[in-house]
Amino acid sequence: MKLPAWLRRRQERDSAMPVAVRVSYVAPSASRMLDYDQNLLWVIVLLLAFGLVMVYSATIAIPEAPRYARWSQFHFFWRDLVAIGLGLVVGWVTFQFPMSFWQRWAPYLFVLSLCGLALVLLPFVGKGVNGSRRWIPLGVLDFQPSELVKLTIVLYAADFMVRKQQVKESFAKAFAPMAAALAFIGLLLLAEPDMGAFLVIASVAMVILYLGGANGRMFAALSIVVIAAFVLMIVLSPWRRDRIFAYLNPWSEGNSQGAGYQLAHALIAVGRGHWFGVGLGGSVEKLHYLPEPQTDFLLAIIGEELGFAGVLALIIVFAWLTKRAFDIGRQALAADRMFSALVAQAIGVLLGGQAFINIGVNLGLLPTKGLTLPLLSYGGSATLVSLTALALLLRVDYENRVLMRGGHA
């Protein structure tokens, strides 16, 4: 049956009209990326808490010695807790400033820290302990400027490599400033003396130059300068030579009662720990056999009370911390943030390298050095600087995450 013309026209008009399609809009889910590295933050907190426990355990018998009879058994615990609290506050303030701020102020902070090294040597400013002048009394704590130089050399060397990219191929322009800076630091630390700090500072500076792309000739020349400085320190310090020979044979009669006394008792402590230790608080060496167990030789007490398992766990934690710092540095480098990348990786070398040296000394693998175990040993200046360095590392990671979200660092 043929439809009327008007009906055909109506059907054609209706078929030509667009069909309304209902489209449901699904909003993109919010990013689940945190603003900070939660794992790194928890590792820092746990190391600080564990350090407090071990410092208390290592010094619980302090009041029994006549020299410290007026002190409470919580003396070092409370002082360490104050240092940690102060370090957390300074770290929080440090985190608030962008890395561009630290790059801009890096040379000035480095010069300021060098002035602190010089002030230590003044008769009425610096404080001497056991023949060394390394501290400036500030009431709340005795500040050690060499600890600050460990951090400012990171900022200065990283800024130096970023500002003067042409120095990678220019031997004179690259070698002279860094060699002069390290030589000046070496002279000041030789006067204190503090060979361990110079070892860490020189190593960190050389690592930054290597990561920054310095050519092999410059790196080799700077290595020769650093090695020559170490040899000079050893030649000019008879007691330092004695410590090195004591390290080679700590069990000889002369060394075990002299320069190697502390190392010998540290090895005894570690040996008593066996696989799982004698139990928390059960150390015998801390009962006035091992001198100053809360500082350089805290790991020996950890080895005695928690055994091989406890020492191995700490080695794994510091290895992870170092690797995480390098991962953060690589992320910054991928975002073309050279200064932040160098700072992050250098902080990994600073903390991981110092932990490696301290552990090696406690196990008798390296000569005795005056270096604490980062975040664990008692020492206000070391704790303060370590937490500040980690705050910078967290800041680099924070800016990496902002950039990955499409924001601006």
The CA angle 90-96-98, to the nearest 5 degrees, is 120
Q: What is the pLDDT of residue 3?
A: 61
Distance CA 170, CA 168 (A): 6
Lowest pLDDT segment from 111-120, 132-141, 301-310, 320-329: 132-141
Mean pLDDT of 200-216: 80
More confident site: 41 or 365: 41
Q: At what angle do helices 99-120 and 338-362 cross, to 10 degrees?
A: 40
More confident site: 209 or 387: 387
Mean pLDDT of 248-275: 83
Mean pLDDT of 246-269: 80
What are the pLDDT digits (tens) for 24-56?
433 344 455 567 788 999 999 999 999 999 999
Residue 212's Cβ-side half-sphere holds a number of Cα atoms within 13 Å equal to 32
Mean pLDDT of 282-294: 88
Lowest pLDDT segment from 12-21, 155-164, 341-350: 12-21
- The structure tokens listed for 400 are 């990496």
User: What band does 72 get if pLDDT is binned at 50, 70 and 90?
Assistant: confident
Distance CA 376, CA 284 (A): 20
pTM score, whole prediction: 0.86
User: What band does 21 get if pLDDT is binned at 50, 70 and 90?
Assistant: very low
Q: Which residues pair with 137 in a beta bridge?
A: 142
Q: What is the pLDDT of residue 175?
A: 63
Q: What is the pLDDT of residue 14?
A: 57
Q: What is the pLDDT of residue 193?
A: 73
Report whether pLDDT(5) > 70: no
Q: What is the pLDDT of residue 67?
A: 75
Q: What is the pLDDT of residue 29?
A: 42
User: What band does 206 get if pLDDT is binned at 50, 70 and 90?
Assistant: confident
β-strands 132-137, 127-129: how paired?
antiparallel
Residue 395's Cβ-side half-sphere holds a number of Cα atoms within 13 Å equal to 24
List, as one string, the DSSP characters of 41-80: HHHHHHHHHHHHHHHHHHTTTGGGSGGGTTS-TTHHHHHH
Alpha carbon of residue 366 to chain centroid: 19
Report whether pLDDT(17) > 70: no
User: What band does 13 get if pLDDT is binned at 50, 70 and 90?
Assistant: low
User: What band does 131 get if pLDDT is binned at 50, 70 and 90?
Assistant: low
Mean pLDDT of the chain: 83
The CA angle 328-334-340, to the nearest 5 degrees, is 50
Q: What is the pLDDT of residue 167?
A: 53
Mean pLDDT of 2-25: 53
Q: Which residues pair with 127 in a beta bridge?
A: 135
Q: What is the pLDDT of residue 272?
A: 93
Sign of the dihedral through C-alpha 121, 221, 319, 244: negative
Q: What is the pLDDT of residue 19?
A: 46
What are the pLDDT digits (tens) for 150-179?
999 999 989 988 877 655 555 566 667 777
Mean pLDDT of 215-241: 73
Closest CA to 154 of 94, 88, 65, 227: 94
Report whether pLDDT(89) > 90: yes
More confident site: 390 or 368: 390
- The structure tokens listed for 44 are 């820092």
Closest CA to 350 of 332, 365, 370, 371: 371
